[in-house]
Structure formats: structure tokens, C-alpha cells
Amino acid sequence: DAGITQSPRHKVTETGTPVTLRCHQTENHRYMYWYRQDPGHGLRLIHYSYGVKDTDKGEVSDGYSVSRSKTEDFLLTLESATSSQTSVYFCAAGPKQFFGPGTRLTVL
């Protein structure tokens, strides 16, 4: 797991509320990634970061924003959660893309 943790591990929220997911790594990796996993789609890239304050969009970035103020932390924010954002979210880090344990998010 290369020292990658995610918080929270589970969250239930209501439509329209803001949600922030946190990814923390201890290996000083430059690159970090956020993916979402939905049935039939495998994992799809939301956003990634190539350094502090350096981020870019992935395949399914609409409705999400990210921030990276420190090397070890990569935050994913849903400004106004929708039911279509119910999913399992995975963070990954490093050139070998070690994954965190995932966060199950349910938007009611």
C-alpha cells in the first residue's frame, strides 16, 4: 500500500452538500491521483497532481475539484454532491500507482 491512507473510509451525505475526501501518503511521491470506481467501468481518472499546487483534469473531472498544498496530501472536493457521484473513490500515488484502501461515498 506504500503508506497511502484515505479518509473517511465511508460517508453518506445528502444531495447539494459539499464533501471533501482526503488522501495522505508518506513516501514523498510527486504524483498523486484520484479515481472513481463504478460497476461496469473499472476505475476512471478524476484528477491528478504532479506536484504541490500542480494539478490537472482526468477523464471524469466535471463536478470535482482538487487541491494539493503539501506533498503528502491530495484533497478531492465535491462542491455540491449529486447522486451520480455515489461511487467508490480511490487515491493512488507514485510511479507504480500504489492504491489507497478506497472511500465509499453515498449521496442520497
Partner 1 sequence: AQTVTQSQPEMSVQEAETVTLSCTYDTSENNYYLFWYKQPPSRQMILVIRQEAYKQQNATENRFSVNFQKAAKSFSLKISDSQLGDTAMYFCAFMKHDNNAGNMLTFGGGTRLMVKP
Mapped onto helix, strand or coil, the DSSP state of residue 29 is: coil
Binding residues (CB under 8 A) for partner 1: these are 1, 31, 33, 35, 40-45, 48-50, 56, 58, 88, 90, 92, 95-99, 101-102
Minimum distance from residue 94 beta carbon to partner 1 (Å): 9
Please, which residue, 15 or 70, has the CB nearer to partner 1?
A: 70
Minimum distance from residue 104 beta carbon to partner 1 (Å): 8
In 26-107, where do the E strands start and end? 32-38, 42-51, 54-57, 64-70, 73-78, 87-93, 98-99, 103-107
